[in-house]
Chains A and B, each alone.
Chain A
């Protein structure tokens, strides 16, 4: 009997949703607003940030917080496109979305390992 792969994508969506909900707001605040505007002074000096990001736990955390929410986006966006009227290309859309998330995950792994 052909086993549907939906539970796999849904579980990635759910995990990504939790990770995104917990960590993405504060990360956006810190990297997208606090750091560029300069509110935290020396906290974002290169040496300090490079050391912080280079720590193995940081790399693991960053990999998780990039990869899982990407799968969350992929699953959500796939259904959103269908809701917006792109019913005909159901499988193509699914492949494109999950494919993009897989590529993003691979790139994240590559960047974080080579850091």
Chain B
């Protein structure tokens, strides 16, 4: 006679070990990025509304709460970028002739592209 014992996962499963916790952190970075995008859209809207609206919004962005948010969002965005580029090679099996391109090269070129993109945007804006 068989009566199997079931062990369901608790709702706090992602707090039980480091790997699961970092996974959840990685997923939640998208929330901070999304909130930032809304703020960016508001910024563009304020630019459209004229110099006074723009300056008022930039002053608001200088408030401690906003700066704190952006620092956290920046940390989140950086974590997203690092994990994304490290995992990207998994989805692609790029082959050069007979041999598969090593993951490290694909990841490396992703990071290089990231540096280039960052420098280009910074150069254009500043």
Contact = CB atoms under 8 A, between A and B. Distances in A.
A36 B61 contact: yes
A73 B36 contact: no
B24 interface: yes
Contact of A21 (B37, B44, B85): B85
Given A21-B81, A26-B118, A53-B44, A37 B62 contact: yes
Interface-central residue, A28, A53, A80, by most chain B CB under 10 Å: A28
Contacts, number: 146
A83 B121 contact: no
B77 interface: yes
Contacts of B51: 46-47
B22 interface: no
Given A26-B122, A27-B121, A46-B55, A66 B27 contact: no
Contacts of B93: none
A26 B84 contact: no
Contact of B118 (A20, A25, A108): A25
Contact of B34 (A52, A69, A111): A69
A104 B41 contact: yes
Nearest to B125: A30
Contact of B61 (A32, A52, A108): A32
Given A22-B113, A40-B126, A43-B125, A28 B28 contact: no
Interface size class of B (residues with CB under 8 A): 35 or more
Contacts of B114: 21-22
Contacts of B37: 24, 65-66, 69-70, 73, 104
Contacts of A66: 37, 40-41
B1 interface: no
A32 B30 contact: no
Contacts of B70: 28, 32-33
Interface of A: 14, 17-18, 20-38, 40, 43-44, 46-47, 49-50, 52-53, 62, 65-66, 69-70, 72-73, 76-77, 79-80, 83-85, 104, 107-108, 111-112, 114-115
